[in-house]
Structure 1
Amino acid sequence: MARNKRLWIPDTYYHVSSRGNRRDILFKEDRDYDVFFSILHHIHKNNPFKLASYCLMSNHYHLLICTTEQPISKVMSLLNKRYADYFNTKNNVTGHVFEKRYFDKPIGTPYGLLEISRYIHLNPVKAGIVTNAESYKWSSYHHYMYNTSTTLLCTSDILESFPGNVHHQRMKYQEFINKTDENIILNQGSEEQ
């Protein structure tokens, strides 16, 4: 049976996730995470995309990604293939590294973007690996909190959902991550900044 063709909407963020085959470990040591990011950087040079959030767990990863020129399937095909090649060579194994096709879901609203970013950043907390998102080394959350720069990450698409200057936006995003109530004021096109 043929697979359904993936829907791609240019300039739309997608929540993308991929899991290790049989839920096996994808990232066994720090070097594995570093290689994954190196592959992602290399793909970004030739197939530009925007990455709003990410989190790499030991047996799966999450990306909040948007492409304009190439379908997301192109980026994901390159990423998973290159990482699988690295993983199999390093571990002297053969066969599937990833469980199945990656999961993807388009995110249609600014609030949806915030919700998925929060879900991604809280993944290690919900898994009981850390007590707060800030403590997890392999997610983009620390870039949001500490203004560290990376050519790969586009924090503005998330932070601009909140009013005020960048410092204030970072504080509001941190509040949003750490609270479960939905009473946080978002910048929904109001004149007030």
Structure 2
Amino acid sequence: MSRPKRVWVPDCYYHIVCRGNRRDPLFRNASDFQAFLHILHQLHEKYPFEMASYCLMNNHYHLQMKSEEYPLSKLMSQVNKRFANYYNTKYRLTGHVFEKRYYDKIIEDKQGMLEVSRYIHLNPIEAKMTRKPEHYPWSSFYLYKYVPSVLPCFMNISSLLDYYEGTLAQKREKYCQSLFV
């Protein structure tokens, strides 16, 4: 029996989650996290997409993203394939790296956008990996808390900050405070 075809709405953000096979670690050290972010950067050049937030945990990742030109299924296939190749080569493994197909859910409105980003950015706190989201290095939260010297090419922080009024600094502050309300 075949799997149902995924629905892709080009102008909508999706919450995407993918877990390591058998809940095994996907990211064993800093270079694995960096490799995943590098893959996103490379793919953005070929298949443009936007990301509002992300969090890379030890055995899974969360992405809040949209693609207007290419179906997300094509993009995510490339992300997971490239990372699996990297991972299996680095650790001299064969076979599945990911548990199953990635999970995706369309985000339909402002409330959904803010709830998903909140969930993503607070994931390391819920997992008791850190006490503050700005202390977790593999999340996009720092891009909202601080003014980065360089914004990753695939990030679009205005997709969340534009829900708030004020100067850019005020919007950043309001967004960060909203995570803890």
Q: Shorter chain as normaliser: what TM range?
A: over 0.9
Check conservation: 2:41, 2:152, Cα contact below 8 A: no
Of structures 1 and 2, the one with the larger relative CO (CA 8 A, separation 6+) is 2
Check conservation: 2:44, 2:153, Cα contact below 8 A: no
Partner of 2:157: 155
1:164 aligns with one of 138, 143, 166: 166
Percent of aligned pairs sharing the same letter: 49
Partner of 1:91: 91
| TM-score, length basis structure 2 | 0.98
Which segments of 5 or more consecutive residues in structure 2 lack a partner in the other structure?
A: none
Partner of 1:135: 135
Check conservation: 2:53, 2:141, Cα contact below 8 A: yes
Cα-Cα RMSD: 0.6
Q: Distance in 2 between matches of 1:117 and 1:105?
A: 13
Q: Which runs of 4+ in 1 moved over 3 A?
A: none
Partner of 2:48: 48
- Give 1:150 shift: 2.2
- Give 1:151 shift: 1.5
Q: Distance in 2 between matches of 1:166 and 1:17?
A: 29
Q: Distance in 1 between matches of 2:88 and 2:140?
A: 26
Q: Distance in 1 between matches of 2:68 and 2:152?
A: 20
Which segments of 5 or more consecutive residues in structure 1 lack a partner in the other structure?
A: 180-193
- Give 1:50 shift: 0.4
Partner of 2:65: 65
Partner of 1:175: 177
- Residue deviations 1:58-106 (CA, integer Å, cap 9, x gap): 0000000011000111110000000000100111110000000000000
